[in-house]
Amino acid sequence: ADILLWRNKKISGGMFACATVIWFLFECTGYHLLTFICHSLIVSLAISFFWSNLSFFVNKRFIELPKIELPEESWMQFVLLLRDQCTCAFGIFREVASGDDLKKFLYAIFGLWIVSIVGRWFSLLTLVYLIFVMMLTVPCLYEKYEDQVNAYGKMAIKELRKQYSQVDEKVLQKIPIPFIKDSKHD
């Protein structure tokens, strides 16, 4: 929380600068993440290999690389969490696709459509960078201007509700839905 609210300006600024450099490296120069990982591994393997072979000639001891063992419990917790999230996502997809709730269906279609439009504007890396920058700036700005944001938020919600009621009255209620059973016929 201290980092997101810029209470420790050095760490927050460092994270922001690091994210900007990474974004610039990958997005603006055209360098790709997989290529970067492979090149980094090539350089570290080459340095380790040559150091281990040259250490014999210069009478220096080779730096022992630690044996890395990943704990099974941590991986099982991660896999179970991932499984639970996927199950939840598939459950939501099934609920929306079942055709029981037109509102949820339209919200889902609208949300996915908006995400697809935003996806055309930015690459995935740029989108992740923008989300990271927003995570670093929005909480700090909200804390500073909380009263004004809340006032504008209330006005926006009021206007959105008014617009939704007009769309609901003029469009949504006039859509015939033949597959929903009428309670009068039961």
Cα angle for residues 29, 30, 31 (degrees, 5° grid) = 95
Predicted pLDDT of residue 180: 53
pLDDT band at 184 (very low <50, low <70, confident <90, very high): very low
Query: 61 Cβ partners below 8 Å, 6+ apart?
Result: 55
pLDDT score of 99 more than 80: no
pLDDT score of 186 more than 50: no
pLDDT score of 153 more than 50: yes
For the question of whether the overall pTM of this predicted structure is more than 0.85, the answer is no
Residues 163 and 35: their CA atoms lie apart, in Å, by 48
Would you call 4 exposed, middle or buried from its count of C-beta atoms within 10 A (0-12, 13-18, 19+)?
middle
* 28-80 per-position pLDDT tens digit: 777 777 777 888 888 888 887 877 777 767 666 666 777 778 788 888 998 99
pLDDT score of 88 more than 80: yes
